[in-house]
Each structure stands twice: as structure tokens, then as C-alpha cells.
Structure 1
Amino acid sequence: MTELLGADVLGLELWQVLLVLAAGFWAGTINSIIGSGTLVTFPVLVSVGLPPVTAQVSNAMGLIASGFSGTWGYRRELAASRHLLPPLALASFLGAVIGASLLTRLPPSVFGYAAPALLVFALTVVVLQPRIQAWVRRRSAEGGAVPGADSPVPVGPVSPTLWTLVFLTGIYGGYFVAAQGVMLMAIFGVLFVGGTLVHANAVKTALALIVNLTAAVYYLVFAFDRIDWRAVVLIAASSLVGGSVGARIGRRISPIALRVTIVAVGLAGLVVMLLRLRGVG
């Protein structure tokens, strides 16, 4: 059994391939339920030996597959929000370009030091996600005082504050990806006027996909040598499957269990990155 798990597949040991596939499937599932799948795949890629920047680039490209299925599933809500999408999509696009540029142009050592801090930040956002969601729901229920807040569909125009915050989230997403969806939902809880939480979630899903796609194109043009295509293919295939069955799995699995899994895997990846910084292992 040990020899079988140590067999070479795509230049990786079989156990590493299976681990990346499992992480991709789990990330696709998580993304379709609560988001933050990157906090599973990124640490796993680091743990199997990929440098942090390569892991981040390859992970962002691989998870695009699950983003498409999620966006397609929200097509009706997106149609109702179509007047908001162009300005917000532009904000996400411009932010993603800057974030991806920072990732690929700064020395890898900068990301090596920044990644642990960003990972801790993203894990904190995930832990606080239930409170964020509860707050968003309360504001949605109490938002009658805001003109247009009681509209059954989103209303415009996009305020400069909303545009700026989405732009800044795009920079974060283009650089690190993890938990950008949770951050967008927190922003929409304050500034997204009208519609329902489903509309806000639909726009969030579309904007996250735009950020990931923009970053992926940037990587293809300016950082092709940092892409590990083995990781991209493995995560894309497994996350696509995970995303398609995530809703069914989500009906049976406690959100708390999912959140615990994210935090546990994220902490394991954090330990690996900290040990690398200290020159251990």
C-alpha cells in the first residue's frame, strides 16, 4: 500500500495527487455553500511542495471552473441586477489587475511573508462569517429607512463608496483570493440597496469570478513560468465536480463542520509556511 501511494503520477506521488484532488473537490463544494474554498486548496498545494506564489497562481486558475457553475446558477438574480453589474465589474476588473500585478511583480519573498498574515486574516473572516451573515440579514430586514431598500430587486446607481470598496476587494482578491466573497457580502450588507440576500450573493459570485478570470489571464501573459499546470488541472477537474454537487452535500453537512474543516486545513498550511520562513523542513 505504501509503495502504491508513493507511485509517480504527473511528477507527484500518488498520495499528493489524491490530496490535491480531494482539496479541489472540497473547495468546489465549500464555494457553492459558504465560500472560502481557497483556504483549503492553497495550504494543500503549499504542503505538497509548491512555492507560495506558484501555489496561489495555480490555485486561482484551477478554481475558475467552480466559479462558472456558481455564476450560471444565479443567472436569474444576475439578470435582475444587470444595471449594477457593469460599474461593479469594472471595479473588480481594475482591482484584480493591480492585485495580480503585485503578486507577480513583487519579489516572491514578499508574498512568502505576507501570505501567513493574509491567511490569518482570511481565517478570521471565515470564523466571523456567521456573525457577518446575521448582521447582513438584520440590516436587510431593517433597511426600510434607506430609499429603495424595500425594493424586491436591486436599485441603483452604484455609489462611489460602494465602487471604491469593491475595487479594493478586487485588489485583495487578485493578490490572495481567499475570503473575498465574504468581504463582498459584508460590503453589500451596508451599501447594496434593494433586492434580497440572494441578489447580493449572485453579484458577489459574479464579481469573484471576474477577479479570478482577470488574474488568470494576467498570469498567463505575465507569469506563465509560475503556473503549475498539474495543480491547475487537478483542482479544475475536482472543483468542477465539487461545485456541481455542493448544494446536495450542503443539505447534509453542518456549516459548522465545513467551517471547522476550513480553519483546520488553513492552520495546517499556516504552520507549513511559518516553518518554511524559519528554514525548517
Structure 2
Amino acid sequence: MGSGGGRCESRYGPAKIFRGSIVTFILLFAAGLLGGMINSLAGGGSFVIFPALLFAGVPPVLANASNTYACLPGYVSGAVGYWRHIAPYREKLIGYSMIGLVGGYLGAEALMRISDAQFSVIIPWLMAFAVTIYIFGTRINRWLASRSSGSRHAARAGAIGLGLLLLAISFYGGFFNAGLGIVLLAWLALAGYTDVHAMNGLKLLISVVVSVAAVVRFALTGSIAWVEGSVALAGAVVGGFAAAYFSHLVPAKMIRGFVIVYGVGLTLYFFWTTYS
């Protein structure tokens, strides 16, 4: 593994002595709770969970891998919930899953071959990309959908080209999980899908496959902070269920606005911390 065993402490987190403290666990559970709620209502929970892991003192590469692990149950439960919308496209699932597995594994492999210092330098750029996609993703999807014509469009674009693009997106998801769902929605629009429920279901299913491949790769080399990641995961599960139950009380646009403001501010902070 390129980053080796002597990982540096995150420059974004507190001193090492705070790792494993009750305060850290409360912070991570709260971040998971909020992230799970945001994922359920508007998407973008990784913008909360990943930085929380960094601030808790988890080294950058491990924090990124642990974020993927913490978000996985939400993808699974969402895909199960959308299954009736996914089922009509079951003949495509094997192909999508194979591409997602390969791309997710290769992305995770790439992450394992860089050091914490190298990854820290690109975190601001990855965050900027993910936040930009989050902000403009709906417009991009609408634009792509308005210019698609179902399977004829997919045929014109070329099955090979669409497959390679999905491979690249899956690679991104295995390397850095934030923003994966929105990029997948754009790909599905390009592929000619128009049913929003089917698109959300397929997005979640592909996210499951990509994340499983990545988590298996991370686990094989001990690159997941299991304790911290599991605390955030528990919070995300509780938050996701709570948000689903009380979703009628919180406008999704309000949550989305909060995520955008928070994500932009956080990205600027990462740029300032990294390059100042």
C-alpha cells in the first residue's frame, strides 16, 4: 500500500490524544445522525461525515475509506425501498453491477496507493468538484434528460461509450464517495432514463455495488477506522430512519440550501488549511 503503515495524523483534526474519547464518539455519532438525515432528505451527507472523521483525528485516507463504509447501509436501505422501480430494468443490472464492481475496486486501489500527505493536497479539489456537482446536478440532469430520447439516444451515444463513462464514475466513487449519487443521476439521464424513481433506485443500487467493492478493498488492508466509522454509521442509520419518518416536517429545499452553504464554506476552509 503506497501510503504505508506510518500514516500522519490529519492536519484537520485535533491532537492524537483525543482519538477514542467519549467526546469524539459523540461528535461522530452526531455527524452520522445529521449526515444520515441529509442523505435521506436531500443528499450530501458525506459533506458532514467525512470532515467529522478528519476533525476526530482519523488520517485522511482512512477517513475517506471510513466515510464510504459509514454511508453504505443508507445506500442499501434506499435501494431496497426503490426495488419495485428498479425491477423493470433487471436485465441491465448484471452489466451495471459488473462495471460498478470493477470501477469501485480500481478507485479504492488507487486510493490505497497514495499517502495521506498526497491525499490531503487533493481533498479541497475533490470537495470543490463534489459541491459543484451537488449545486448544478439538477440542472445538468434536466438538460441531459431534455436532449435524450430513451433507448435511441443511448444507442446513438454508444453502449461502449456509456459503459466506459460508468466505469470512470465508479472509479471516482471508489476513490472519493462524496457526490457519487448526483454524478450517477447525470449518467442515467445521458443513458436515456426519464423515470425519476427508477433513476433514484438505479443510482442507489450502483452506489451499493461501488461502495461494497471499495469497502472490501479497504478492509483487506486494514484501511478503515472501524470504531470511528461504526459510530458514524450507527448515527447515519438512526438519522436516515428519523428523517424518513419526519420528512414531511422539513422542506427538502431548506436542507439543500443548508448543504450548499455548508459545503461551499467547508471547501473554502480546506483550501485555506491546505494552501495557506
| TM-score bin, normalised by smaller chain | 0.7 to 0.9
1:3 alignment partner in structure 2: none
CA contact (8 A) 1:44 1:269 kept: no
Q: How many residue pairs were aligned?
A: 258
Letter paired with 2:88 = A
1:74 alignment partner in structure 2: 82
Unaligned runs of 5+ in 1: 1-7
Alpha-carbon distance in 2 for matches of 1:52, 1:25: 21
- The one-character-per-residue Cα deviations of 1:149-177 (angstroms, maximum 9, x if unpaired) are 8xxxx99xx92222111110110000110
Letter paired with 2:69 = M
Residue from 21, 37, 46 that aligns with 1:12: 21
2:185 alignment partner in structure 1: 185
1:169 alignment partner in structure 2: 169
Matches within 5 A, 1:227-266: 227-266=224-263
1:90 alignment partner in structure 2: 98
Residue from 38, 49, 53 that aligns with 2:57: 49
Change (3 A) 1:116 1:10: closer
Unaligned runs of 5+ in 2: 1-16
Q: TM-score with structure 1 length normalisation?
A: 0.82
1:160 alignment partner in structure 2: 160
CA contact (8 A) 2:140 2:186 kept: yes
1:120 alignment partner in structure 2: 128
Q: TM-score with structure 2 length normalisation?
A: 0.83
Change (3 A) 1:56 1:147: closer
1:219 alignment partner in structure 2: 218
Alpha-carbon distance in 2 for matches of 1:229, 1:168: 28
CA contact (8 A) 1:112 1:273 kept: no
Shift of 1:65: 1.6
Shift of 1:268: 5.0
Shift of 1:260: 3.0
Change (3 A) 1:263 1:86: same
Alpha-carbon distance in 1 for matches of 2:184, 2:192: 10
Alpha-carbon distance in 1 for matches of 2:164, 2:103: 10
Change (3 A) 1:191 1:21: same
Letter paired with 1:189 = A
CA contact (8 A) 1:43 1:265 kept: no
Shift of 1:146: 4.4
Letter paired with 1:261 = F
Task: Supply the RMSD in Å over aligned alpha carbons.
Answer: 2.7
1:4 alignment partner in structure 2: none
CA contact (8 A) 1:29 1:249 kept: no
Alpha-carbon distance in 2 for matches of 1:273, 1:147: 42
1:204 alignment partner in structure 2: 203
Alpha-carbon distance in 2 for matches of 1:236, 1:13: 16
Letter paired with 1:173 = G
CA contact (8 A) 1:96 1:174 kept: yes
